[in-house]
Amino acid sequence: MKNKKNFDFYPFGKFLYNAAMKKYILSRDFYLHEDVLAISQALLGKFLVTHFTGSTLTAGMIVETEAYYGVEDRACHAFNYRRTPRTNIMYALGGVSYVYLCYGLHHLFNIITAGEDVPHAVLIRAVEPVEGIEQMLLRRKMRDVGYKLTAGPGVLTQALGIHTQHTGSLLTENPIWIEDRGVTVNKRDIIAGPRIGIDYAKEHRDMPWRFLLRNNPWISKP
């Protein structure tokens, strides 16, 4: 990976320049691309940022994602057009969050993509902490920085302060947004493999729809 000033990894990448924050925030158009696998890879090297009232800004570079291919994907909550009060947000216009509780303990952060009524989603599985690390340590009740701080979908949300109450948040403004900070990820540095914890998904169990950055120490450990 290397840094550069232009943002051209994928042609559908569009940005909003926030003059107050001096940040390039991914616009909603970025999330409306119809290919959730491409978006899952394009999010690698982007920065997931949270800033809640009365709290320090926290941010991490996205290093691991999983794609969920809507009604056709047995691992997706919307498989076969399933729709419940919890999953209704998956049918919204892309660019909003879907946060659900796993095993009654972990708040898992997903990004809804594609157009309305097309329930594609990207699960953020791991980030590399870069800002507000002291705040992350406090939230995780940890004393020292280590991969357990943010290497996993349940722990990264705790570190960043994301909860189920943030389902439906528009991801172009406070309190949760995603930035492009000029990190370029070469395609050869992206590893694809099966998703984690979906043995129930039958023929979709082994689809290579988990994407991670090669040799990054912050990826999750299955």
Residue 91's alpha-carbon distances to 32, 53, 105, 152, in angstroms, are: 12, 29, 25, 25
Average pLDDT over residues 193-218: 94
Q: Which domains does the chain have, with CATH numbers?
A: 2-213 (3.10.300.10)
- Does the pLDDT of residue 26 top 80, yes or no? yes
Residue where the block lists tokens 């705040």: 135
Q: pLDDT of 6-16, one tens digit each?
A: 333 444 455 55
Pairing type for strands 176-179 and 47-50 reads antiparallel
Closest CA to 55 of 166, 154, 131, 153: 131
Residue 107: band (very low, low, confident or very high) from pLDDT cuts 50, 70, 90: very high
Confidence at residue 61, expressed as pLDDT on a 0 to 100 scale: 98
Distance CA 3, CA 142 (A): 30
Closest CA to 44 of 217, 193, 187: 187
